[in-house]
Amino acid sequence: MHSVMALFVRLGCVVAMISAAVGFAAPASAEPTDSTLCAWRFMSNSTVLNVAFPDANSTYWLMPYALGPGDSIELSGTYPAARYFSLNTYGTDLDTVDTLRDDQIIPDPGSANPYVDASAEALPASRQRWHATLVNGPADHSRNEIQAVASGQGTPIGFVIIRVYVPTDPNSLSGGVGLPDAKLSIGGSDVATQPCAQPFDPAAYPGPVADAVKAGFDRVIAGAAAGAFPGNTPEAVFSNPASTAGLFPNGDNKYIGTRISYQPGRLLVVRGKAPIFPNTLAGQSPTDPNQQVRYWSMCQNDLRSPYPVVACAADFQTAIDESGYYTYVLGAPADLPANLDPSVTVIPWGSTDVDKVLFLRNMIPSAAFYPNSVQASQDSGADPATTMGPYYPRTAYCDTETLATGGAGVCLGA
């Protein structure tokens, strides 16, 4: 009985310890209660906890933990119906510890993985099951293990995040299935937990607690973003970020980005070749062998902490012309011409009082596409304008009248 009580106290204090580790103030109610023992305490997307450059077509669920030597957390779930999902662990510096993505997660006996076998999508949910284990130490991915605590970190604290991109049912952020259950094995005792009925949303708790949580996020994320976009970064020219460490990076995504600023009557035009992707909303499988990337998007975010996403145009939301190219126009509603060509996709500017950062995201390039991917330019340290070829986004500022009379090609000097 003593060990079970100790486990409950330890679990109830995890949120408080995590808060202290990253500089948050913990609420006084972080005592061991039924609500603090549920899994997936936090959810983040474009409307809830919109922080650290999220994609508007994805949702993230986060569970903090503290694992001593020999402790573990077993997750059990069902593969979601979505373009992509993954499990990622992070240390107290908010940098990646380990990643186990959808097509790497081995199914349970009698089940199949729809990210490996397209025919598995037709199976009942009971035959699309998986288990994975977070361990404090080296992980064996062939056993669905994930390293939970950063090597050399002074405290046994970490976070695990579930990411789900483009759920097939847009009304189900988690891809038509429940979030995974979690069984915590800590100090020789086991406790099974289910997903929280309602994730914590600071906006729903106005006052000093929410203010402290927001201030903590701002402080940590602002420090990381300052390193990603140093002050000498050229405007309206896509380049590799200096670093994405400390921003909950996803190892399956790589980005190029650029800072942009608003001027009345001025628009930004962006054009490049669109990679081929599996349009799961149109019935294609994530296993489609013809894909060049699993997912890509163009997103713009406020260049001010906590760096929320303002708007995205994902691959399936982007108009593609007969040559396979996209053209984006970014601007305030008052500056947009009324006669835009239907092959142009508008990305809203949002607040004109804040500079923006515009991101092109590539996820999981195929081997054939890799040389033209964002990943290749970052792995080599080369200029993406050279390595990406036609897939590199060309940009130009353009006034409203020129765009209206001459079109995007004139703005870009074509």
104 in a domain, yes or no? yes
Q: For 286, which DSSP code?
A: T
- Say if residue 47's pLDDT is above 70: no
pLDDT at 151 over 60: yes
Residue-wise DSSP of 171-231: T-TTSSSPPPEEEEEETTEEEEE-B-SS-B-GGGSTTHHHHHHHHHHHHHHHHHHHHHS-T
Do 238 and 197 sit in the same domain of this protein? no
| 213 part of a folded domain | no
Is 400 inside any structural domain? Answer: yes
Whether residue 9 has pLDDT greater than 60: no
Q: What pLDDT, on a 0 to 100 scale, did the predictor assign at position 203?
A: 58
Among 279, 273, 76, CA closest to 165:
279
* 84 vs 223: CA distance, rounded Å: 29
Same domain, 172 and 50: yes
The most confident of the ranges 2-11, 18-27, 81-90, 396-405 is 81-90
One domain, residues 181 and 245: no
Q: 212 lies in a domain?
A: no
Mean pLDDT value of segment 279-287: 96
CATH number at residue 65: 2.60.120
Read off the pLDDT of residues 206-239 as tens digits, 9 standing for 90 and up: 556 556 555 655 665 555 555 555 556 678 889 8
Distance of CA 377 to the CA centre of its chain: 20
Q: Give the tokens for residue 7.
A: 């486990």
* Mean pLDDT (whole number) for 12-26: 38
State both tokens at 79. Answer: 């593969």
Closest by CA position to 164, among listed 6, 265, 58, 75: 58
My answer on whether 32 and 180 are in the same domain is yes
Find the mean pLDDT for residues 166-192: 91
Residues 320-374 pLDDT 10s: 999 999 999 999 999 998 888 888 999 999 888 888 889 999 999 999 999 999 9
Confidence of residue 204 (pLDDT cuts 50, 70, 90): low
Q: What is the pLDDT of residue 155?
A: 86
Is 215 a member of any domain? no
Q: What is the pLDDT of residue 49?
A: 65
Token output for 207? 């006052």
Domain finish residue from 204, 219, 254: 204
Name the strands in the sheet holding 189-193, side by side, starting at the edge strand that comes first in the sequence.
145-147, 129-135, 72-78, 181-186, 189-193
**Nearest CA to 248 among 95, 402, 413?**
95
Shared-domain flag, residues 69 and 172: yes
pLDDT given for residue 345 in this prediction = 95
For 57-168, where are the E strands, in sequence order? 58-66, 72-78, 82-90, 96-101, 129-135, 145-147, 157-167
Termini Cα distance of the chain? 75
Domain boundary among 162, 187, 204: 204
- The partner residues of 396 in beta bridges, in order of sequence, read 269
Name 64's bridge partners: 159
Which tokens go with 174? 């988690």
pLDDT band at 285; cut points 50, 70, 90: very high
- Do the domain assignments include residue 73? yes
pTM for this entry? 0.85
For residues 325 and 192, membership in a common domain is answered with no
Q: Please give the tally of structural domains in the chain.
A: 2
Q: Is residue 347 part of a domain?
A: yes
C-alpha dist (Å) from residue 176 to 72, 173, 224: 27, 7, 34
Q: Is the pLDDT of residue 375 over 70?
A: yes
What CATH number should be reported for the domain holding residue 302?
Answer: 2.60.40
Q: Are residues 200 and 245 part of one domain? A: no
If you average pLDDT over residues 79-95, what whole number do you get? Answer: 92
Residue 227 lies in a domain: no
- Looking at residue 275, its pLDDT comes to 98
Share above pLDDT 70 across residues of the chain, in percent, rounded to a whole number: 79
Same-domain check for residues 180 and 243: no
pLDDT over 90 at 141, yes or no: yes
Does 256 share its domain with 307?
yes
Expressed as residue numbers, the domain containing 351 is 233-411
Largest Cα span, the chain: 78
Range of weakest confidence among 24-28, 108-112, 145-149 = 24-28
Q: Which two tokens stand for residue 398?
A: 């353009």
Residue type, 232: N
**pLDDT score at 26:** 35
pLDDT value at 27 more than 90: no
Q: Is the peptide bond before 306 cis (omega within 30 degrees of 0)?
A: yes
246 and 395 co-located in one domain: yes
Please indicate, yes or no, whether residues 78 and 171 belong to a single structural domain of this protein.
Answer: yes
281 shares its domain with 182: no
